Structure 1
């Protein structure tokens, strides 16, 4: 079974892979599943986007974005651990030189307001279209959000950590 906040990709996934079905989940709040109702939860490059609604990106301060993003990401991480007997959660690493969503160096260190303005400006000419709706993880914060993880892994490129993975066997 698939679960996501967007219905169309799940419809295509069910048809393409012959899965039993899908569940549309709310954008905010607890997941509509019983404890440990999934054998495994796979979350790949998504948790960093669990921040604020895109409609609020333009008007929110950097401090408020960071506060709300931290709260929502922490809740989402707890929900992943609650509904899955096992889990695999991958996210781009905060301290990798190239920011994964924009392909621009060091963008993830900018304030939310600056990232938002830069994303709007670069849409006119940059090869990678991106949104400033993400808050990247450090290893320390990722570990704190997944205290039940069996392990944490680094995905490396050219000897540098590109993304981090929390998993529970």
Structure 2
């Protein structure tokens, strides 16, 4: 299926998997520049995601990953813990508590641009460094529904499509209000938006056949 060839990062030969490996070479270089034990906060991540990452890349120094999601995940691994929380407000974490804050394809799900700014501010507050990835709004294939130019269609058309077809990561959602909630829960970012959220960051553009598929904002290794 075209979806598995392009967007399914559980498939070893998919485009998403190839780009993920390229992306995390940058992240691994950032981690290896940090001496001692590395405390990582992952906003919106899963243990399965890290299993895939560490299968491709070996982390040489001691590390601990704290996963932060609306609901905690049960994990039986000494290097991982899972907490319930909201990336837009993390009062339980001290300033600079984590060597690195990591977030992959999450910031587009937290609400309005004001909500995204709150999350970006919290990332910079609790992390000494950060690595944040998000899809490009102007890439022609919307990454969640895997449908051409889906993000630019009127909401009523997007809702109708979601109600009547399996699209990307979503099975068909017959209920109109539920379909509308899913459609409107994603706010994709363009480069200008992303730079506003992370004005001091290095911005890396992931490309697919010359088109910018996603952006990564990260702290340069020498900082």
TM-score (norm 2): 0.59
Aligned residues: 143
Deviation at 1:102, TM superposition (A): 0.5
Query: Aligned equivalents of 1:84 and 1:105: distance in 2?
Result: 36
Q: 2:206 aligns with which of 155, 159, 162?
A: 155
Task: Give, in whole Å, the separation in 1 of the partners of 2:125 and 2:155.
Answer: 30
- Note if 1:5 corresponds to 2:56: no
Partner residue, 2:127 = 84
SS at match of 1:48: helix
Structure 1 gaps, min length 5: 52-68
Secondary structure of the residue that 2:142 maps to in structure 1?
Answer: coil
Q: Structure 2 CA distance, aligned partners of 1:71 and 1:117? A: 28
Matches within 5 A, 1:89-128: 89-123=132-166, 126=167, 128=169
| CA spacing shift, 1:79–1:114, aligned 2, 3 Å | farther
The alpha-carbon deviation at position 22 of structure 1 amounts to 2.6
Let me know the Cα RMSD of the aligned residues: 2.0
Asked which structure has the greater RCO (Cα within 8 Å, sep 6+), the reply is 1
- Post-superposition offset of 1:127: 5.3
Match of 2:90 in 1: 31
Question: Aligned pair 1:129/2:170, yes or no?
Answer: yes
Q: What residue number does 2:15 align with?
A: none
Q: TM-score, normalised by structure 1?
A: 0.76
In 2: Cα distance, 1:127 partner to 1:165 partner? 22
List runs of 5+ in structure 2 lacking aligned partners: 1-65, 172-181
Moved more, 127-136 or 73-82: 127-136
| Conserved 8 A contact 2:144-2:168 | no
Give deviations 1:76-95, integer Å, cap 9, x for gaps: 11111111100000001011
